[in-house]
Structure 1
Amino acid sequence: MSDQLAYVGMGLMGLPMAKRLLAAGHRVAVWNRTAAKCAPAVEAGATLAGSAAEAARGAAIVFMCLTDTKAVESAVFGKDGIAEGIARDAVLVDFSSMAPEATRDFAARLLAERGAHWLDAPVSGGVPGAEAGTLAVMAGGDAAAFARAEPYVRAMAQRFTLMGPSGAGQTTKLCNQVIVGSLMCVLAEATRLATNAGIEAARLPEALAGGWADSKPMQICVPRMVSGTYDPPLGHAYTMLKDLDTARLLAMQKGSPLPMASLAAETFRMLIAREGEEADALRIFTLTEPQGREQP
């Protein structure tokens, strides 16, 4: 476990994940397009790299968590990107979420150009899961590369599952987002109904614990909605909408109906139109507020 590691992307998820690697005693080089975002990781013991290529140089495993397909392509194959520094037979573990087809294309290109392996490994669990090391990670790619990455991923996640070949992790994440995105909207409705009907909505998680309506989103999201706790954000509205739109595109290609997820996507689109892309996804609760009443 003494290999040099790299982590590219110090956003809401990447920073706490990198800090968990450092807390486990690993040597980690970090890079982010906005260098200032690396400061907390550097304070925790990381080495600041001058580019993504520099971070990847000499690393046995390179981790990455970025916003979308365009950001991933730029960070890997752009000027001073990961592909310029990654070693032959190294493993790139991509925690970003994107279309399965794009992941397969990128994986094939990295293998052909650099002889390095790509694992698509999107995560579920949000910022709390990243901080606590309780994320669920669903992977696609080569079994040998998965086995090499697993000891390190276990420092950041409680579950790391190989779902199949390249792209399988991204497909599994889209299924996850169909469930989570739709559930967030349903929880907002139920919480507003409780509030408008005069019961203490904050006690819903307690009252429903252990029943069929209980879930981790119920226990985490409802208290935040009721109290109006949106800072720091649980996750950005843009990220959820991106994933739901990707799921809808895949569903159209496969002839799979997604009526509930489609409604959820339009709900998040309304939130973004009103509050911007970086609004906390849980602020969909404010969309249920009748006009003339204060919003938390």
Structure 2
Amino acid sequence: MVARGLLAPEAAGLTADAKAARPRIGFIGIGIMGEAMVRRLLDLGYSVTVWNLEPERLATVLPHGAVAAESPAAVAAASDIVMLCVLHMEAVERSVLAPDGIAAASPAPKLVIDCSTADPEGTRRVAAKLKALTGAGWIDAPVSGGPQLARTGQMTVMAGGDAADFEAAKPLLAEMAGNVTLMGPVGAGQTTKVINQAIVGTGYVLMAEALMLAEAAGIDAARLPQCLAGGHADSSLLQRLYPQMQQRAFEPPSSYARQLLKDLKAVSAFAQGLGLDLGVIEQGVQRYKDYVALGHEMSDSAAVVKLYEHEAATRGKAQP
């Protein structure tokens, strides 16, 4: 059973033949990133069938032309390609292998593209089970760049899968991302995302500390990105994230602190599994544990600067 929304205005100019030539897309997981990605697909004129564990989230995409299905299996049966963008590996497994999951669909989709941030080994296991049950190919394609870049088709995709499946996925991914790179077989995309999150998570902590240092020293903290542009300290974190922190512009959240903490814990576990002891990453994990412990699970990840403000205020009260 499906419930139909309205046709997205951006897609109204497509001919019937053009619409028919496009693969039917299923999308499971309508969080902050999932919403932005579905809206992008609708803008491009794709037919998109959606499911989310919390059905109230579907209200963010149905008015724009998405079609609601009652289960992941129903999404898959209505789709040529199914995309996932869910919270963690357990949610991937539930979406694929539960009794009403993708693997139960008839007919099965040709290809699954998983944009979630998940576990590399778990990804290989679920992909192999789906292949054995249905023959469907798998591309793990975790993303980076946030909802704004997802909405405009400029996000980054780090992919894992075999060459044939990647070639099948690439035309769709190329319309959704400015940078799509195949990093190896299934699981390689998730391994690359582990490294990405190591850089991002510790970078958020570093930007917060740089901001606190600049403000405490009394310089014009807002001009730091302009001043350091083009030097070795320059980065997208400095140019995009630091100004958000400096302006305390955290509403609405573009990502959640609980999610980045989950990712950093996964980075730590992955490193330890390789016999590595990476102190900077461990400190990043602890900083986000401390921040979330203050009740900020659903706060913007960039608002970790509030942890430093809290600690500074606590020290000030402790002084005689």
What is residue 172 of structure 2 aligned with on the other side?
A: 152
Q: Which runs of 5+ in 2 are unaligned?
A: 1-20
- Change beyond 3 A, Cα 1:185–1:273: same
Aligned equivalents of 2:22 and 2:306: distance in 1?
Answer: 48
Q: Does 1:279 align with 2:299?
A: yes
What is residue 146 of structure 2 aligned with on the other side?
A: 126
What is residue 100 of structure 1 aligned with on the other side?
A: 120
The answer to whether the 8 A contact 2:79-2:109 is kept is no
- Change beyond 3 A, Cα 1:253–1:140: same
Q: Report the residue type matching 2:28 in the other structure.
A: V
> Runs in 1 of length 4+ with deviation above 2 angstroms?
86-89
Q: Percent identity?
A: 41
Task: State the number of aligned residues.
Answer: 293
Aligned equivalents of 1:86 and 1:280: distance in 2?
Answer: 40
The answer to whether the 8 A contact 2:261-2:289 is kept is yes
What is residue 77 of structure 1 aligned with on the other side?
A: 97
Q: Does 1:214 align with 2:202?
A: no
Q: Report the residue type matching 1:128 in the other structure.
A: Q
Shift of 1:128: 2.2
- Secondary structure of 2:253's match? coil
The answer to whether the 8 A contact 2:49-2:75 is kept is yes
1:11-37 Cα shifts (integer Å, max 9, x gaps): 010011011111111111111112221
1:77-133 Cα shifts (integer Å, max 9, x gaps): 113222212644611100111111100100110011111112111111122221222
Q: Report the residue type matching 1:253 in the other structure.
A: G
What is residue 313 of structure 2 aligned with on the other side?
A: 291
- Select the residue among 129, 132, 139 that pairs with 1:109: 129
Aligned equivalents of 1:4 and 1:131: distance in 2?
Answer: 19
Aligned equivalents of 1:36 and 1:287: distance in 2?
Answer: 31
- Select the residue among 238, 241, 245 that pairs with 2:261: 241
The answer to whether the 8 A contact 1:6-1:63 is kept is yes
TM-score w.r.t. the length of structure 1 is 0.95
- Secondary structure of 2:294's match? helix
- Select the residue among 195, 204, 207 that pairs with 1:187: 207
- Select the residue among 174, 182, 189 that pairs with 2:194: 174
1:28-47 residue pairs with structure 2 within 5 A?
A: 28-47=48-67
TM-score w.r.t. the length of structure 2 is 0.88
Deviates more, 1:188-197 or 1:51-60: 51-60
The answer to whether the 8 A contact 2:76-2:108 is kept is no
Aligned equivalents of 1:65 and 1:243: distance in 2?
Answer: 14
What is residue 23 of structure 2 aligned with on the other side?
A: 3
Aligned equivalents of 1:58 and 1:233: distance in 2?
Answer: 32
- Secondary structure of 2:280's match? helix
The answer to whether the 8 A contact 1:138-1:163 is kept is yes
What is residue 248 of structure 2 aligned with on the other side?
A: 228
